[in-house]
Amino acid sequence: MPQAVRDRKSALRVFTYYPITDWQKYFSKLVSPENGEDVYTFTRNGIDVRYSFAYTVDPNDTSDTRPLFVRLVDIEFTPPVPIAQVPSLVPEFSPSRDFQAPAFRSNIWILLFKGSPSDAARFLIKEKGKEQLDWTLTYQLFSLQGLPDRLTTKATIDRMEISTQSLQLVKQRQRHTHEAIVNPYSPEFAERVIPSPAAQPKKIPVPQYAE
């Protein structure tokens, strides 16, 4: 039984939280199942970990008791945690340790692909043209404060998402926003040589003039 239910008010991360008893009695009749997210909270190693599960339904099933399928797991950490600590806080998080596993980054997130594409995963996708693409399990880690240019596993994240994304889509249409990197959970990532910061240019001395 979830501890609460939340619904998303817009495309932004704006939510309203409902106690589970209120949701069952009243609000579940006003909010569609696809907009309601089950919420669970845990404390692990002194970190507050909040799970939210978003669902989808089979559009061909018109029954009153049609099953819900998890399409997204959103996990938040308070306070933020180092990348290296995430596997110990989220048992469901099992990233590949292969340095060649597809991994990408921007200035605020890291995207990790795992495993082979699944035909069944298309059911969870609303993307136009999804039938022409392959869909794979992904983990996406977000940092509200931004990630450093010289990424290490000490960089902190605030939340992560477990979902399904297309590697083809990233490589074909999102290559300008997705920078390919070495898998940060591989041994090779820790062993790589990090270049030292570029030397700062010397300031041009400003002459001092007598008054």
3-state secondary structure of 57: strand
CB–CB of 132/74 below 8 Å? no
Confidence label for 14 from pLDDT (cuts 50, 70 and 90): low
Residue 93 pLDDT level (bands cut at 50, 70, 90)? very high
Name the residue with higher pLDDT: 61 or 114: 114
Q: What is the DSSP letter of 18?
A: E
* Residue of 13, 1, 61, 7 lying closest to 161 (CA atoms): 13
pLDDT at 1 over 60: no
Give the pLDDT band of residue 207 (cuts 50, 70, 90). low
Burial 140-173 (b: 16+ CB within 10 A, else e): bbbbeeebeeebeeebbbbbbbbbbbbbebbeee
**pLDDT at 27 exceeding the cut of 60:** no
Helix and strand element counts for the chain (H, E): 4, 10
Give residue 2's pLDDT: 64
- ∠ CA(100), CA(94), CA(43), 5° rounding? 140
Q: Are the C-beta atoms of 25 and 5 separated by less than 8 Å?
A: no
182: DSSP letter: -
> Higher-confidence residue: 65 or 24?
65
Sign of CA dihedral 86, 89, 91, 92: negative
Instruction: Please give the average per-residue pLDDT across 174-183, as a whole number.
Output: 91
Domain boundaries, the chain: 55-191
pLDDT at 197 over 60: no
Say if CB 163 and CB 100 are below 8 A apart. Answer: no
Tell me which residue of 90, 73, 58, 30 sits closest to 163, measured CA to CA: 73
Q: Between 122 and 93, whose confidence is greater?
A: 93
The pLDDT tens digits of the residues spanning 143-165 come to 999 999 999 999 999 999 999 99
Q: What residues are paired with 162 via a beta bridge?
A: 73, 139
Give the pLDDT score at 123.
81
Q: Does 75 score more than 80 pLDDT?
A: yes
